[in-house]
């Protein structure tokens, strides 16, 4: 066999060795200074990334954040202003049972075609297509018709005046109709939107990759490539951030914060989250049909103690039915104080002098420290005479037709994400017939909820929400617990805009 000739000279070899040696010596230094791996790319390890390439096949805040890179909504909530601002819509008007939107001029899809009202109508049709896999159809349940009088005007006609329609329209993203017609049933494999990033690839349960859209109407993003990777194990995400594989991670467990803060590469950012945690009763089940029992349960759970001991104090116990930052919160509202003795008395009055047996359902692993929280709740409730059996179910079973949404679970631990307006919670959980999650029915409360939904003036609507909130507290329809801090870990030189809604957006990031 002929001897393979190398063309590496002695000098060349020395040069390369020197470069390698310096590189190896510098490597740890660079890491110590907290640099992200590259200025052009951000790698995000997240516990929740799209489970499917169908952009409407979910209704979860972090996944809305994934898709918003590619496809955009008409409007979005500005958390600083606490009001809606236009994205693809330039202005809007609410009159009678009509919402009229004027679209932004000069917006182009990634395939070069201009944005028109037809695209909006097309996308709404796809979102309403529950049989086609969309989980976002209920948001349009009150919409009768979508009209497109001209290229830049869209009119939503609703059954009755619907003042809270903007809340329903948030996170409803617009796809290109031309691309849709071209790709037919392969549409969802080729998502074409107007967003600051273009879709590159998606792997089931794996990576989602976006690359910058240089012609974006809102100006070019700083980061060229954004990679999302789904990693559900907390320890794996932290290890990736510490070693430099990931530049950004979510859900850092509270008990690891102190350790990570000392790490040379890592910065910890906390944001008060919009996910509100609570224990819900289903009132079609005994003994929760009895208001006294529900009040007793409220007196027997000590949410501030849970926040203090389980979440190391990084959390915000609810005073009243919603967190203090939510539209419709009442600063005068108070939670039921922790008072096991009073709970015991109420329970006896309700006909359970010897206590009562209950089951508490949860889905282990879905929320931070859920298993520990439920064990503490069980131990607290025992002191007032509730004998609690804990039952953990798979999320699909827990949330599905036999679980929460079919009215099958009598008592459960749950978190409602992106809760910005109290109406969302009240309508979904406590209005007759919207869902079966609590099976609560109170015509008086229904009337107030309906009235505030018809009231466009926020100044008049908030007192109505507060009135509804007071009624909900008096009736003890659930046990409000707390909002948690969303805890993120980032490479030290990564700058981002903190958001309370669990979305991670590449164009709001920069490498210093």
Partner 1 sequence: MRSLRYLKIWVGGAILLILFVCGVAAPLLAPRDPQAQTLEDRLRPPRWSESGSPAYLLGTDNLGRDMLSRIIYGSRISLMVGAATVIFAGLLGCTLGAAAGYFGRTIDEIVSKISEIFLAFPFLLIAIAIMAFLGQGVGNLIMALMLSRWVQYCRVVRGEVLSIRERDFVTAAKALGGKDWYVLFRHVVPNTLASVTVIATFGMAIVIITEASLSFLGLGVPVHIPTWGSMLSEGRSYINRAPWLTIFPGLAIFITVFGINLLGDGLRDIFDPKLRRQR
Binding residues vs partner 1 (CB under 8 A): 234-235, 253, 255-256, 259, 305, 309-310, 364-365, 371-372, 374-376, 378-379, 389-392, 394
Which residues fall within 8 angstroms of residue 233, CB to CB, at 6 or more apart? none
Cis before 169? omega within 30:
no
The residue (of 242 and 421) whose beta carbon lies closer to partner 1 is 242
The residue (of 137 and 310) whose beta carbon lies closer to partner 1 is 310
In the complex, the smallest distance separating the C-beta of residue 364 from partner 1, rounded to whole angstroms, is 5
3-state per-residue secondary structure call for 125-152: HHHCCHHHCCCCHHHHCCEEEEEEEECC
The residue (of 411 and 507) whose beta carbon lies closer to partner 1 is 411
In the complex, the smallest distance separating the C-beta of residue 375 from partner 1, rounded to whole angstroms, is 6
3-state per-residue secondary structure call for 205-270: CCEEEEEECCCCCCCCCCCCEEEEEECCCHHHHHHHHHHCCCCEECCCCHHHHHHHHCCCCEEEEE
Going from the C-alpha of 416 to that of each of 52, 95, 137, 238, 242, the distances in angstroms are 22, 31, 18, 26, 31
In the complex, the smallest distance separating the C-beta of residue 402 from partner 1, rounded to whole angstroms, is 12
In the complex, the smallest distance separating the C-beta of residue 46 from partner 1, rounded to whole angstroms, is 18
In the complex, the smallest distance separating the C-beta of residue 38 from partner 1, rounded to whole angstroms, is 28
Which residues fall within 8 angstroms of residue 495, CB to CB, at 6 or more apart? 509, 510, 511, 512
Backbone angles phi, psi at 217, to 5 degrees: -65, -30
In the complex, the smallest distance separating the C-beta of residue 404 from partner 1, rounded to whole angstroms, is 17
In the complex, the smallest distance separating the C-beta of residue 474 from partner 1, rounded to whole angstroms, is 30
The residue (of 363 and 439) whose beta carbon lies closer to partner 1 is 363
The residue (of 71 and 260) whose beta carbon lies closer to partner 1 is 260
- Give the separation between CA 406 and CA 390, rounded to whole angstroms: 20
The residue (of 157 and 378) whose beta carbon lies closer to partner 1 is 378
Name all contacts of 177-183 with Cβ < 8 Å and 24+ positions apart: 177/116, 177/118, 177/119, 177/121, 177/122, 177/123, 178/109, 178/111, 178/113, 178/119, 179/109, 179/111, 179/113, 180/122, 180/126
The residue (of 193 and 408) whose beta carbon lies closer to partner 1 is 408
| Bridge partners (DSSP) listed for residue 202 | 208
In the complex, the smallest distance separating the C-beta of residue 366 from partner 1, rounded to whole angstroms, is 12
Q: Which of 292, 322, 244 is nearest to 482 (CA)?
A: 322
In the complex, the smallest distance separating the C-beta of residue 491 from partner 1, rounded to whole angstroms, is 20
Give me 470's structure tokens. Answer: 């007071």
The residue (of 260 and 473) whose beta carbon lies closer to partner 1 is 260
C-alpha neighbours within 13 Å on the C-beta side of residue 125: 11
In the complex, the smallest distance separating the C-beta of residue 309 from partner 1, rounded to whole angstroms, is 4
Q: Are 362 and 347 in contact (CB under 8 A)?
A: no
Give me 152's structure tokens. Answer: 């830049």
The residue (of 218 and 365) whose beta carbon lies closer to partner 1 is 365
The residue (of 45 and 56) whose beta carbon lies closer to partner 1 is 45
């Amino acid at each position: 066999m002929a001897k393979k000739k190398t063309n590496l000279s002695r000098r060349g070899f020395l040069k390369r060795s020197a470069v390698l040696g310096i590189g190896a010596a510098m490597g740890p230094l660079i890491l110590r200074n907290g640099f992200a791996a590259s200025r052009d790319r951000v790698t995000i390890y997240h516990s929740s990334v799209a489970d499917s390439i169908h952009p409407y096949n979910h209704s979860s805040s972090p996944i809305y954040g994934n898709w918003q890179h590619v496809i955009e909504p008409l409007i979005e909530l500005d958390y600083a202003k606490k009001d809606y601002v236009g994205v693809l819509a330039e202005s809007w008007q609410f009159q009678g049972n009509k919402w009229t939107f004027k679209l932004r001029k000069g917006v182009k899809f990634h395939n070069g075609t201009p944005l028109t009202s037809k695209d909006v109508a097309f996308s709404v049709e796809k979102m309403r297509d529950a049989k086609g896999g969309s989980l976002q159809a209920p948001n349009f349940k009150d919409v009768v018709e979508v009209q497109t009088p001209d290229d830049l005007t869209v009119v939503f006609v609703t059954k009755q005046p619907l003042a809270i329609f903007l809340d329903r329209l948030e996170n409803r993203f617009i796809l290109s109709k031309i691309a849709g017609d071209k790709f037919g049933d392969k549409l969802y494999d080729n998502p074409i939107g107007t967003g600051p990033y273009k879709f590159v690839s998606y792997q089931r349960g794996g990576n989602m990759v976006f690359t910058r859209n240089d012609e974006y109407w809102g100006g070019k993003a700083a980061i060229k490539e954004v990679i999302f990777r789904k990693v559900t194990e907390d320890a794996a995400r932290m290890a990736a951030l510490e070693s430099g594989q990931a530049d950004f991670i979510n859900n850092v467990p509270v008990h690891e914060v102190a350790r990570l803060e000392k790490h040379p590469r890592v910065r910890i950012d906390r944001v008060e989250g919009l996910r509100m945690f609570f224990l819900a009763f289903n009132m079609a089940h005994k003994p929760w049909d009895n208001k006294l029992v529900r009040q007793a349960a409220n007196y027997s759970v000590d949410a501030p103690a849970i926040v203090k001991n389980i979440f190391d104090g990084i959390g915000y116990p609810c005073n009243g039915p919603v967190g203090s930052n939510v539209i419709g919160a009442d600063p005068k509202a108070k939670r039921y104080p922790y008072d096991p003795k009073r709970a015991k008395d109420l329970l006896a009055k309700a006909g359970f002098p010897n206590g009562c047996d209950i089951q508490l359902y949860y889905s282990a692993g879905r929320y931070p420290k859920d298993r520990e929280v439920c064990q503490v709740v069980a131990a607290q409730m025992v002191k007032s005479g509730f004998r609690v059996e804990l039952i953990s179910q798979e999320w699909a079973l827990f949330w599905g037709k036999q679980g929460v949404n079919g009215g099958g679970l009598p008592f459960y631990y749950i978190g409602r994400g992106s809760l910005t307006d109290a109406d969302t919670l009240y309508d979904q959980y406590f209005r007759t017939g919207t869902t079966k999650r609590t099976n609560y029915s109170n015509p008086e409360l229904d009337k107030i909820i309906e009235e505030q939904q018809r009231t466009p003036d926020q100044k008049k609507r908030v007192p109505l929400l507060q009135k509804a909130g007071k009624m909900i507290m008096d009736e003890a329809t659930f046990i409000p617990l707390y909002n948690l801090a969303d805890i993120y870990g980032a490479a030290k030189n990564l700058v981002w805009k903190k958001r309370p809604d669990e979305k991670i957006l590449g164009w709001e990031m920069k490498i210093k």
